[in-house]
């Protein structure tokens, strides 16, 4: 099946939040903190603006608690006398003209008595910088397996290394945007988002409204990548506060500069590995320390840390593992959800470290991985027994074969001998990604899905999961159509409107197809049971049964229903971080080929092979596109995407200065899937969306290391950074 809304997007007919017709509305804008930390002593409104023509909102206008409710309640909707990061929202303005609003925003001065900020998460804070608990640690988590100290003491070889990753900006092409208005007594908020029920919960809490008086509707969302997981709650609250005060619809749409400066980014990380091995490369002990920069509020950082440390030891078998993780408070704009959610950071460290080990031990990096990859029956760092029947070595072999790895290595060696100014190399990364919420997360979400039988015999799938480019509408259609024997056009997908759809959980964590898709199948089955027909009744006869039911039950609703149930045999101990972290893992090996220009220190990726086992692939075109997009986002993070901060503010908050790859910067991405259906995912599917961003950075840097002999430990590996670590000798022309 082709992408369901594909033609609407291609012809420009799809209406995103800023495309919706809206009458008699005000634009909204945000006045933000100019400094990273301090007490707000005054807010001055300039004399050359007629303020009577503006709606002005500050923290005193918030009807409920001044809290953006998420994991913690530490983040205010609008700063109330104290700011903890640059660009923290302080005052909201509403006005008819966008240009007038821009002038007005500049005429408001937020006066702050500055206090010492903490801007480097790697440096222990001074006493006057402590702002969270006793030590600025937002969250500490630990995984322990076996006896690491003893194993390290006895190991014939110990290899240590530290690895760092920088912040990454999502660069969804549609910036954040939200509209709010009052419809009778009901506040309606509509906009670009991944999680309508998160937004609903934030609105209910801070606006002190119950569910009957708030409704959240997702508009077609122009990319998310995690950036529209938690942040839309903030902008939704802002639009709602302005609309409530103005008594008119209010639209807030960030321009690119504000979006890049003021919204979340991927957490910067620092990871230390200390690894004990036999001389032939068998893992004996893995001792890891993982530190993340959380920024000024907790947001989702504890969960990002959790996923980060669970993936940190890599897809390898090792009897003794200790992973100590912490996420630090700093006065940075809060870091948040971003595709991969902590795993790309720790997997970069792990897979780069594997090549550092291979170089130290003088063994083949492929062999090092081959001997240590998890075999069925072995356990992960949390003690989860992997027994899914996937041959992880076969995934590795397939990637080597498709990339022509061995022949390339020989060809590169010959090339490098004869070229003065270029070096070629090939590198790989083996990795995995757990699908769905961690541990008991899915049980806690308690997701619910409905499939309604309509009077004309079609069905409507009702979920809160949204389309942001990844293919939800198409895949949900396929899943229901396949389950019922329907043609795709006989399956409608309901708009994600909290007034209509049940809470099927957020559209995050690679859970939509696997977890929610499976609920759709079960809701389809439930629909059949309400019709009192068996699974053999499909297609036309099932449609006829639905039509008949409606004739016999005039004015009643026919709804199949399903609620999440934990797959059998899964258990998780959240207190000790032991057990089955995920119902299923996707497995992958990626291979990157690079050419490094020794004159300019710039690296170009010239070839890329991505092989993964993600259970059953439901839609080859969509799945391949997801992988290709994730790989290119990962190549960007590896080589060029760098957030530059000064005094806590991003200073390259323009697409001219924060560079993402163009079509001319990347090669074709060769994608291959191995299929091993997962019995508890829709049609055997496992999660896919995040996996592809875990592998590119280590694969690319390993390739650079192979090409040049350099030992890069941090991303992005910009030419300036490569120059700093490697003074390439020069050869004259041969």
Partner 1 sequence: MTAISIAFTLNGSPVSVDVDSAERLLDTLRYRLGLTGTKEGCGEGECGACTVHLDGLPVDSCLVPTYQVRGRRVDTVESLDPPALEPFARGGATQCGACTPGVVMTAWWIRDHPELLGTHTLRELMAGNLCRCTGYDGIVDSIGAVLGERGSA
Partner 2 sequence: MTVLLPGSERDALEMLAAADGDAVPIAGATDLLVSWPGRLEDHRKTYVDLSGLAGLRPLRWTGDELVLGGLTSYWDVIRDVRVRQEFPLLVAAARQVGAIQIQVRGTWAGNIVNASPAADGVPVLMAYDAVVELESLRGREEVPLDRFYTGYKEMRRRPDQLVVAIRLPRRPYSVQKFVKVGSRRAQAIAKVGLAITRAAAGWRVVAASMAPTIRRCPTIERLLEEGAPVRGPDDLLPAIARDVSPIDDIRSTAAYRKRVMARVLYYELREACGWRA
| Closer CB to partner 2, 53 or 421, in the complex | 421
Q: Which of 73, 102, 370, 616 binds partner 2 (CB under 8 A)?
A: 102
d(CA 332, CA 117): 9
Which partner from the list partner 1, partner 2, none does 15 bind, CB cut-off 5 to 8 Å by kind?
partner 1
Tell me phi and psi for residue 81, to 5 degrees: 90, -10
Write the interaction track for partner 1 spanning residues 115-154; mark x where CB under 8 A is met and - where it is not.
----------------------------------------
| Spatial contact of 726 and 708, defined as CB atoms under 8 Å apart | yes
Asked whether position 646 contacts partner 1 by CB under 8 A, the answer is no
Q: Which two tokens stand for residue 64?
A: 């409920």
Tell me 727's DSSP state.
-
Q: How far is the CB of 525 from partner 1 (least distance, A)?
A: 31
Rounded to whole angstroms, what are the CA distances from 390 to 275, 387, 403, 678?
Answer: 26, 8, 21, 10
Tell me which stretch binds partner 2 (CB under 8 A): 175-183, 309-317, 387-395, 651-659: 651-659
Q: Which of 520, 632, 640, 682 binds partner 1 (CB under 8 A)?
A: 632
Which partner from the list partner 1, partner 2, none does 604 bind, CB cut-off 5 to 8 Å by kind?
partner 2
Rounded to whole angstroms, what are the CA distances from 465 to 232, 472, 489, 517?
Answer: 15, 7, 19, 10
Asked whether position 419 contacts partner 2 by CB under 8 A, the answer is no
Q: 348 Cβ partners below 8 Å, 6+ apart?
A: 163, 165, 271, 697, 698, 701, 715
Tell me which stretch binds partner 2 (CB under 8 A): 164-172, 226-234, 279-287, 657-665: 657-665
Asked whether position 487 contacts partner 2 by CB under 8 A, the answer is no
Which partner from the list partner 1, partner 2, none does 498 bind, CB cut-off 5 to 8 Å by kind?
none
Q: 255 Cβ partners below 8 Å, 6+ apart?
A: 175
Query: From the CA atom positions of the chain, what is the Rg in Å?
Result: 26
Asked whether position 489 contacts partner 1 by CB under 8 A, the answer is no
Q: Which of 9, 59, 409, 604 binds partner 2 (CB under 8 A)?
A: 604
Which partner from the list partner 2, partner 1, none does 14 bind, CB cut-off 5 to 8 Å by kind?
partner 1
d(CA 696, CA 632): 8
Q: What is the DSSP string of 19-68?
A: GS---S-EEEEEEE-SSSSEEEEEEEE-TTS-GGGSEEE-GGG-SS-S--
Beta-strand relationship, 214-218 and 186-191? parallel
Asked whether position 191 contacts partner 1 by CB under 8 A, the answer is no
d(CA 495, CA 344): 32
Q: Which two tokens stand for residue 576?
A: 């000790």
Tell me 516's DSSP state.
I
Asked whether position 420 contacts partner 2 by CB under 8 A, the answer is yes
* Window 203-262: residues binding partner 1 (CB under 8 A): 220-225, 255-256
Give burial (CB, 10 Å; 0-12/13-18/19+) of 493: buried
Q: Which of 629, 648, 684, 698 binds partner 1 (CB under 8 A)?
A: 629
Tell me which stretch binds partner 1 (CB under 8 A): 6-14, 197-205, 437-445, 581-589: 6-14
Residues binding partner 2 (CB under 8 A): 98-99, 102-103, 106, 255, 257, 420-421, 598-602, 604, 640, 644, 651-652, 654, 656-657, 659, 661-665, 718-720, 723, 730-733
Residues binding partner 1 (CB under 8 A): 2-3, 5-16, 18-19, 21, 170-175, 220-225, 255-256, 468-471, 621-622, 624-633, 654-656, 660, 662-666, 668-669
């Amino acid at each position: 099946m082709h992408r369901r809304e594909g033609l609407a997007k291609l012809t420009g007919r799809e209406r995103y939040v800023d495309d919706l017709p809206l009458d008699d509305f005000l634009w909204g804008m945000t006045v933000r903190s100019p400094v990273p930390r301090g007490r707000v002593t005054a807010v001055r409104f300039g004399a050359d603006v007629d303020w009577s023509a503006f709606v002005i909102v500050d923290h005193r206008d918030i009807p409920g608690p001044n809290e953006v409710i998420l994991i913690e309640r530490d983040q205010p909707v609008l700063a109330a006398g104290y700011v903890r990061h640059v660009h923290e929202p302080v005052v909201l303005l509403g006005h008819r003209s966008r240009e007038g609003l821009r002038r007005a925003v500049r005429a408001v001065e937020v006066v702050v008595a500055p206090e010492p900020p903490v801007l480097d998460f790697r440096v222990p804070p001074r006493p006057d910088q402590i702002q969270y608990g006793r030590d600025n640690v937002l969250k500490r988590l630990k995984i322990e397996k076996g006896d690491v100290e003893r194993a390290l003491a006895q190991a014939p070889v110990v290899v240590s290394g530290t690895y760092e990753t920088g912040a990454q900006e999502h660069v969804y092409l549609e910036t954040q945007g939200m509209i709010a208005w009052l419809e009778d007594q009901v506040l309606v908020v509509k906009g670009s988002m991944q999680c309508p029920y998160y937004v609903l919960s934030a609105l209910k809490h801070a606006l002190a409204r119950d569910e009957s008086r708030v409704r959240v509707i997702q508009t077609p969302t122009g990319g998310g990548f995690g950036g529209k997981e938690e942040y839309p709650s903030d902008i939704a609250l802002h639009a709602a506060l302005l609309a409530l005060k103005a008594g008119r619809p209010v639209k807030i749409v960030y321009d690119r500069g504000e979006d890049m400066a003021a919204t979340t980014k991927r957490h910067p990380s620092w990871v230390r590995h200390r690894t004990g091995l036999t001389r032939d490369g068998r893992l004996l002990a893995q001792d890891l320390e993982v530190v993340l920069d959380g920024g000024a509020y907790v947001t989702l950082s504890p969960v990002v840390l959790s996923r980060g440390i669970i993936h940190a030891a890599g897809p390898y078998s090792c009897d003794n593992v200790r992973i100590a993780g912490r996420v630090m408070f700093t006065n940075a704009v809060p870091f948040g959800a971003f595709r991969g959610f902590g795993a790309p950071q720790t997997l970069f460290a792990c897979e780069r470290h594997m090549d550092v080990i291979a170089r130290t031990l003088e063994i083949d990096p492929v062999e090092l991985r081959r001997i240590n990859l998890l075999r069925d029956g072995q356990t992960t760092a949390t003690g989860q027994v992997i027994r899914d029947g996937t041959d992880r070595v076969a995934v590795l072999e397939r990637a080597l074969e498709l990339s022509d790895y061995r022949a390339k290595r020989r060809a590169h060696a010959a090339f490098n001998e004869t070229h003065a100014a270029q070096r070629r190399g090939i590198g790989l990364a083996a990795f995995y990604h757990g699908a769905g919420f961690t541990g008991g997360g899915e049980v806690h979400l308690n997701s619910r899905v409905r499939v309604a039988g309509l009077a004309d015999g079609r069905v409507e799938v009702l979920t809160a999961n949204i389309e942001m480019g990844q293919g939800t509408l198409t895949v949900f259609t396929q899943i229901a159509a396949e389950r019922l024997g329907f043609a795709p056009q006989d399956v409608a997908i309901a708009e994600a409107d909290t007034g209509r759809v049940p809470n099927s959980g957020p559209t995050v964590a690679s859970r939509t197809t696997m977890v929610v898709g499976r609920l759709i199948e079960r809701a389809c089955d439930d629909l059949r049971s309400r019709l009192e027909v068996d699974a053999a009744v499909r297609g036309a006869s099932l449609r006829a049964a639905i039509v008949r039911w409606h004739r016999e039950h005039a004015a009643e609703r026919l709804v199949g229903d399903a609620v999440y149930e934990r797959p059998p045999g899964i258990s998780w101990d959240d207190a000790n971080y032991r057990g089955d972290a995920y119902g299923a893992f996707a497995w992958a090996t990626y291979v990157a080929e690079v050419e490094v220009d020794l004159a300019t220190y710039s690296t170009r990726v010239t070839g890329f092979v991505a092989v993964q086992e993600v259970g059953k692939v439901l839609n080859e075109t969509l799945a391949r596109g997801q992988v290709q997009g994730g790989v290119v986002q990962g190549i960007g993070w590896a080589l060029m995407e760098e957030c530059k901060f000064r005094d806590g503010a991003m200073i390259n908050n323009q697409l001219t200065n924060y560079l993402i790859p163009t079509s001319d910067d990347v090669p074709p991405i060769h994608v291959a899937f191995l299929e091993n259906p997962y019995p508890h995912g829709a049609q055997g599917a496992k999660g896919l969306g995040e996996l592809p961003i875990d592998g590119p950075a280590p694969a690319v840097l390993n390739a650079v290391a192979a090409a040049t002999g350099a030992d890069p430990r941090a991303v992005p590996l910009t030419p300036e950074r490569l120059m700093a670590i490697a003074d390439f000798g020069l050869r004259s022309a041969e």
